[in-house]
Chains A and B, each alone.
Chain A
């Protein structure tokens, strides 16, 4: 690999989806990004489609091309988790999410809850979600989770989440709370199939009771959705 290409890869991988394609026979390489293909390895349209598929699947793999096997190394932007509500479950969930590789941002306008003492090592904002969410620009590598049960705080975050490409939107609350939430979002003008993106009651049904167990069930559900596991289905 040329060092210049390596340095381009490090920048491209941080700012957007990028794939490094390597011809396993010759070592020739190219960096494939959304708009460009830079490097000495020529890739056909079919090859590029396979590269995009690998990026979509978030899975590095070897593909067969007309000229032989090419290794496609996927560099997607880091996964992010936006948590709304500096509650007990957040205290258990955030370290789990960080272990699983997520950059976590915690939003809670209630300054008594959202303090650095309660959440060391966490990016924390006391802005209201209607200000904080647009600034964070959630994308298809972002999971969003509301935990406060308070419509004043949760609803604006969920509305922003439904307008984004976030791969996961979850809201803590009982079936009753969730039914009321759906009603409010309908009144706010969201279509039922859009509202159905929200996972509520949140988490995989593992019988979780304590905050730590609920955190595990939520993190398991986020993982199942990310990895397109059968467990992600709520049919």
Chain B
């Protein structure tokens, strides 16, 4: 089973158990970035997570957005990079930029 398969299977399982679940996927990268396009992170309504979209740099911010999206149901496209104040705060120190799509599993 591939990494993505494992993350999506787990997300589906959480959802079947009645938990709120959001999925985050790296959709674009520029320059050096820690995780390739297609990398995934699943988050449940308690903030539990499986997978990774950045090797730790922006996960905190992504989880926060994911929890919002579990409530609102409205997908969001996030962008992090060194030129970005928020990214600096959350510490994307590798110098790259990433776009991460976050959606609710419904």
Q: Majority SS of interface residues in chain A?
A: mixed
Question: Is there an interface contact between A1 and B38, defined as CB atoms closer than 8 Å?
Answer: no
- CB-defined contacts of A13 to chain B, threshold 8 Å: 5
Contacts A1-B106, A3-B106, A6-B105 given; indicate if A71 touches B27 (C-beta within 8 A). yes
Does B77 have its Cβ within 8 Å of any Cβ on chain A? yes
B 8-48 binary contact with A (CB < 8 Å = 1; else 0): 11011001100000010101100000000110000000000
A-B contact count (CB 8 A): 53
The answer, among A2, A9, A61, for a CB contact under 8 Å with B106, is A2
Per a CB cutoff under 8 Å, which of B12, B74, B101 touches A6?
A: B12
Interchain CB contact (< 8 A) of B2 among A9, A24, A59, A78? A78
Cα(A62)–Cα(B25), bound, Å: 12
Bound-state CA distance A207–B79 (Å) is 45
Complex Cα–Cα for A1 and B101 (A): 11
Pairwise interchain contact A22-B5, C-beta atoms closer than 8 A? no
- Judged by a CB distance under 8 angstroms, whether A73 is at the interface is yes
**Chain A residues with CB under 8 A of B5:** 10, 13-14
Min CB distance, A161 to chain B, in Å? 25
Give CA–CA (A74, B38) in the complex, Å: 8
Which residues of A have CB within 8 Å of B25?
22, 71, 73
What is the CA–CA distance of A6 and B25 in the complex, to the nearest angstrom?
14
> Which chain A residues lie closer than 8 Å to B16 at the CB level?
3
B38 and A101 within 8 A (CB):
no
A134 interfacial by beta-carbon distance below 8 Å: no
Contacts of A151 in B (CB 8 A): none
| A8-30 contact mask (Cβ, 8 Å, vs B): 1 or 0 | 01100110000000101111000
Cα A10 to Cα B12 with chains together (Å): 10
| Residues of A with C-beta under 8 A to B37 | 59-61
- Expressed in whole angstroms, the Cα–Cα distance for A22 and B11 within the complex equals 18
Binding site for A on B (CB under 8 A): 2, 4-5, 8-9, 11-12, 15-16, 23, 25, 27-28, 37-38, 74-75, 77, 99, 101, 103-106
